Structure 1
């Protein structure tokens, strides 16, 4: 049952990304170009995504397990630190340059072309190597 629900949720998410235009790199870059030829339509997509997510968090605060019985993860941290800021900047730079973020990139795999495959390969490499880099950066600096 868990896999069926995951498949349906993933399919709905991917379809929503495609229908909303989030998989169209020129549309995304047009939305990010606030000082040029700005396309505000994706603001409605993001605003529309925030409403069900806010409802989901309200429901999550009253539940311990998901509908299929698995434990729900704890709410995310509200702490703003260097890791969050650095990650946000890197995400924004990648999103602006490529016009894609992870969700739309995966949703576009069947028709994206060579540029998309390079993006997904780089994204996966980052996901694989980031924990090792994070561990190295978090090591205390020896005192002289």
Structure 2
């Protein structure tokens, strides 16, 4: 049942990203171009998502002892901002600004079959593999902790 709900949730999320235009790199870059020809439409998408998420999150975490389909909530155990978190956020934001894509929309958009999106996803997967290797072999990662 858990996998079916996860699949259905992912499908709905992907459809929402396609309908909102979040899988279109030009639209995302237009949203990020606040000092140029700014396209504020994605701000409404994000605002709408927050209007649904925030109350649901606080109601679920405060009123329920555990999720319906899991043994426990998977919440962060720390709230400290370390170099690894800040470096990852900077890397993510830079990639998002340059490519106009982040992992979720890129995987959703790969069905379009365009070369740039395919190259982005391949690069993303290679980068994930490299970081995983660096962490396993204890070679210092590019982002110092």
Q: TM-score range by the shorter chain?
A: 0.7 to 0.9
Stretches of 4+ aligned residues off by more than 6 angstroms: none
Q: Does 1:51 align with 2:54?
A: no
Q: Give the Cα–Cα distance (whole angstroms) in 2 for the partners of residues 72 and 45 of structure 1.
A: 26
Cα drift, residue 136 of structure 1: 2.4
User: Partner of 1:96 in structure 2?
Assistant: 97
User: Partner of 1:136 in structure 2?
Assistant: 139
Q: Does 1:7 align with 2:20?
A: no
Task: State the TM-score, normalized to the length of structure 2.
Answer: 0.85
The alignment's C-alpha RMSD in Å is: 1.8
User: Partner of 2:26 in structure 1?
Assistant: 26
User: Partner of 2:124 in structure 1?
Assistant: 123
Task: State the TM-score, normalized to the length of structure 1.
Answer: 0.86
Deviations 1:31-82 (A, max 9, x none): 0111111111111111112222212321124333322244221236321121
| Structure 2: gaps spanning 5 or more residues | none
Which shows bigger deviation, 105-114 or 60-69? Answer: 60-69
Q: Give the Cα–Cα distance (whole angstroms) in 2 for the partners of residues 14 and 76 of structure 1.
A: 28
Structure 1 residues 49 and 77, CA, compared in 2 at 3 Å: closer, same or farther? farther
Deviations 1:106-135 (A, max 9, x none): 111110411111100111112222133354
Structure 1 residues 87 and 68, CA, compared in 2 at 3 Å: closer, same or farther? same
Structure 1 residues 123 and 73, CA, compared in 2 at 3 Å: closer, same or farther? same
The 3-state SS of whatever aligns with 1:22 is: coil
Q: Give the Cα–Cα distance (whole angstroms) in 2 for the partners of residues 42 and 112 of structure 1.
A: 23
The 3-state SS of whatever aligns with 1:15 is: helix
